[in-house]
Structure 1
């Protein structure tokens, strides 16, 4: 049986920075007929988590809210009408609780964990039975937690609109969680991967993960043309995982193949466009915003993670729940490589 109270990190409001994160005692919610009680054992951070308390998040919020979207753990109790889960099952959270299949809509966009609904930076969670998926058998709880946002976003980018095929080329930017997942998923599918980074050390790490080519974007300012030249017949890359925003979009357009897809995931370099949208016409490509993905795609991703024994890249430092604010600061300072994991006792 779960206790009646728990430790949790609540975001008290936007525009307060990380001082708006409060570690406090909170209630353990009651379990409704269609809900499950989860003992959370692992969580993971995303760039989204960092910008919510700073007032920079562009999607719906309902503050105050328990932070974090990424979590994994064990089912402790089930409601009377639950049919999908049993006590003892290992589960991982779905980002937008209402996004079950197909395209995202306005209603589903207002169901994000850690933004509208209380999230995973706590010891226990009560969620609808459709708000989780089965955790991969080959992953720990902390590893599984990284799939919720970064994993599913990269899977959606590669398979949600125009599925990646063996032999195609994927361009990934940097060494953040989405980019590293995309690299691993692409290699498992038999695709080529071109990666960009800013240092020799990160370049070596990317090569060890399977990148076929690595370009240092600090040394090569025209890396989009360089990436294009590395593809068969210089035709361009089939999929671009675009995370830099205004700093990288020009080069992504130079790199992409005719009828290729640029999936915009983030805006780490700023959100002010430098390119006219008509450039998409001259490049004959699709530019697509990706907002994580539905449960149906997440289940496909879990199957692929198991089948290929894919393990997410975790930063060497794993934090405890009580150290969450320190984890936020660590990630904001860009000290991490891969995903930041948090253990929950």
Structure 2
């Protein structure tokens, strides 16, 4: 077959949302190359059909898991163990060269020039720049390399329990041997980096080619106002709003209408939303359900809608109207006794029932 391809991976329907938007972003910037997505059995048939409508190749692979809980606990990201499944990309030997790109990325400008690079080309990781970030990398498919990686994983493991640690150990000379394999940061701009180095973002942000929504800035987990069509970034990340808005614009224009309620997880829930219309009680219930799902999966907007102040406000409002209250509700007072503005919590007994995350508006 030959030729080049962009390759991504999804293990469930929720992450498939990211893959669909990613694929449409690549089509929008007029890539000249194939789009391939690796899927695992956790992706429903309904979602597979939608993936096949935009990707050139949809290929099922078996799930690989590092099972390295000790190192994964250091990252506090136990779900990353299954990212070993990414190694299957080396088995796409029908292609001469590929670029792997995580499903939580967005391509802003055409990047086909990356296919001129050689294996293993990648951008430095913001957490440890002598390591590369495995969210975007150039590679040459090879069954021999895949087998070698599997042996290496079995014998050496991964320093972070995930694919990034493994690949950096395997391609251990990346940091110093050939600087042509160091991609500029604009080809894998991690969203958290703009928070820590806002001045550089102001200077170079307009040149970004690929943005990587790592951590809590996953676009599909943020609050999106279905009436106004505006996405609300987490506090402190307002600079990301234009990029997050591009993601949601693509979702609304090209993806939302393709979703069905037979899809799993967040994809099925989002299929029930109406866009650009006044919010009905049914719509509010759906949005609350989505929010509850995010809570249950550990994606909580601690700094935004689900901040302590907002939760306390809702609890106070609920308790104020609840029957059986025998004493004032819990009061929180800021102590001015020291320069650290220490917070004192005065607990006063109340009769109440636990508040479900889905009831917090």
Compare CA radii of gyration and give the structure with the larger one. 2
Flag whether TM exceeds 0.5 (same fold): no
Q: Which has the higher helix share?
A: 2
Higher relative contact order (CA 8 A, sep 6+): 1
TM-score by length of 2: 0.28
